């Protein structure tokens, strides 16, 4: 067992006995910033759904979506629910294409933020904010964000693998609408989201596991997720399983795209 002293990089307020979606995801992607309770939760998810594949396919979608936005001329990104930085962070992907591109990361998890601060130290074009995306103005009004991103020009707004942690009561549709109002025309929204559509029984079990944690997850139908793009025009191929969104090769899709269990899309603000 690793002692608290050895974990000197972990912010004091972090409760190591509670799993967090950021650390569970980090473990599923092969990262090293997770604790025993995160790993136990990841393994219980793996027993009911192909959670590792789901995580990997979501991360690959992130890369393809961000590169597609670079192709559209986007050079500034706001990544909400950005997670623990692992290989293929948004700033790494976009700065390969455009070294001047700017990225603002936001996460509610103190471990994700602490680790991002370490990785981003010395990079003047990237910042990380510790904030809750459900309170858009606490993010949009931050001076550091306004200094980095120019909201009079198009922004790439990323909400990948995160909106399932926003309950119906917290109204993710209204939350997105608030961000949309802050964006100029020609901005983009990229979303990926747990859905029960393809594997309803298995995803109900996943929901039941999350329900026992501090971060319950809500799976949503194609129709409910598509409504998140109100005021945005979906780019081809529309809202599809992550693996089906502009695959690098048709062979990547396989016979069971529904096993990716997250729907993904990119829309342009009209």
Q: Does 38 bind ligand SAM (CB under 6 A)?
A: no
Tokens standing for residue 177: 């609408």
Q: Does 27 bind ligand SAM (CB under 6 A)?
A: no
Q: Does 136 bind ligand SAM (CB under 6 A)?
A: no
Please, what is the minimum distance in Å from the beta carbon of residue 226 to ligand SAM?
19
Q: Tell me which stretch binds ligand SAM (CB under 6 A): 7-15, 18-26, 195-203, 223-231.
A: 18-26
Residue 163 three-state SS: helix
Q: Does 243 bind ligand SAM (CB under 6 A)?
A: no
Chain-centroid distance, C-alpha 91: 14
Binding mask 95-134 for ligand SAM (x = CB under 6 A): -----------xxxx--x-------------------xxx
CB 39 within 8 A of CB 31: no
Residue among 75 and 107 whose Cβ is closer to ligand SAM: 107
Please, what is the minimum distance in Å from the beta carbon of residue 62 to ligand SAM?
5
The whole-angstrom separation of Cα 169 and Cα 183 is: 24
Please, what is the minimum distance in Å from the beta carbon of residue 59 to ligand SAM?
5
Please, what is the minimum distance in Å from the beta carbon of residue 87 to ligand SAM?
11
CB 157 within 8 A of CB 74: no
Helices (H) and strands (E) in the chain, counts: 10, 8
How, if at all, do strands 156-160 and 102-107 pair? Answer: unpaired
Q: Does 82 bind ligand SAM (CB under 6 A)?
A: yes
Beta bridge partners of 190: 158, 266
Residue among 1 and 87 whose Cβ is closer to ligand SAM: 87
Please, what is the minimum distance in Å from the beta carbon of residue 38 to ligand SAM?
11
Among 21, 218, 244, 261, contact with ligand SAM (rule: CB under 6 A): 21
Could you tell me where the beta strands, DSSP code E, fall in the chain?
A: 76-80, 102-107, 126-130, 156-160, 188-194, 232-234, 240-241, 262-269
Q: Tell me which stretch binds ligand SAM (CB under 6 A): 68-76, 157-165, 239-247, 253-261.
A: 157-165
The whole-angstrom separation of Cα 160 and Cα 150 is: 22
The count of other CB atoms within 10 Å of the CB of residue 187 is: 23
Q: Tell me which stretch binds ligand SAM (CB under 6 A): 56-64, 142-150, 181-189, 229-237.
A: 56-64
Please, what is the minimum distance in Å from the beta carbon of residue 26 to ligand SAM?
8
| CA distance to 1, 79, 86, 212, 239, per residue, from 90 (Å) | 33, 8, 10, 31, 21
Please, what is the minimum distance in Å from the beta carbon of residue 260 to ligand SAM?
13
Site residues, ligand SAM (CB under 6 A) = 21-22, 25, 58-59, 62, 80-83, 106-109, 112, 132-134, 160-162, 165
């Amino acid at each position: 067992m690793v002692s608290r002293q050895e974990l000197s990089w972990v912010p004091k307020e972090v409760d190591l006995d509670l799993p967090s979606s950021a650390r569970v995801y980090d473990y599923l992607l092969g990262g090293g910033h997770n604790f025993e309770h995160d790993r136990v939760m990841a393994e219980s998810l793996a027993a009911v759904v192909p959670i590792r594949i789901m995580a990997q396919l979501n991360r690959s979608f992130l890369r393809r979506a961000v590169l597609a936005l670079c192709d559209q001329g986007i050079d500034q990104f706001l990544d909400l629910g950005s997670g623990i930085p692992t290989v293929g962070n948004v700033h790494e992907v976009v700065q390969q294409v455009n070294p001047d591109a700017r990225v603002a990361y936001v996460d509610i998890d103190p471990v994700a933020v602490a680790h991002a601060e370490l990785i981003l130290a010395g990079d003047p074009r990237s910042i990380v904010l510790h904030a809750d995306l459900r309170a858009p103005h606490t993010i949009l009004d931050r001076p550091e964000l306004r200094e980095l991103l120019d909201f009079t020009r198009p922004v790439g707004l990323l909400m990948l693998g995160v909106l399932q942690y926003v309950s119906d009561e917290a109204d993710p549709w209204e939350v997105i609408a608030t961000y949309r109002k802050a964006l100029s025309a020609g901005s983009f929204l990229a979303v990926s989201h747990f859905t029960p559509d393809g594997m309803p029984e298995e995803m109900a079990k996943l929901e039941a596991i999350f329900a026992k944690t501090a971060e319950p997850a809500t799976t949503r139908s194609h129709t409910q997720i598509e409504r998140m793009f109100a005021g945005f025009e979906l780019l081809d191929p529309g809202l599809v399983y992550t693996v089906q969104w502009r695959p690098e090769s048709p062979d990547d899709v396989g016979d069971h795209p529904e096993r990716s269990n997250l729907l993904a899309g990119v829309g342009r603000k009209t």
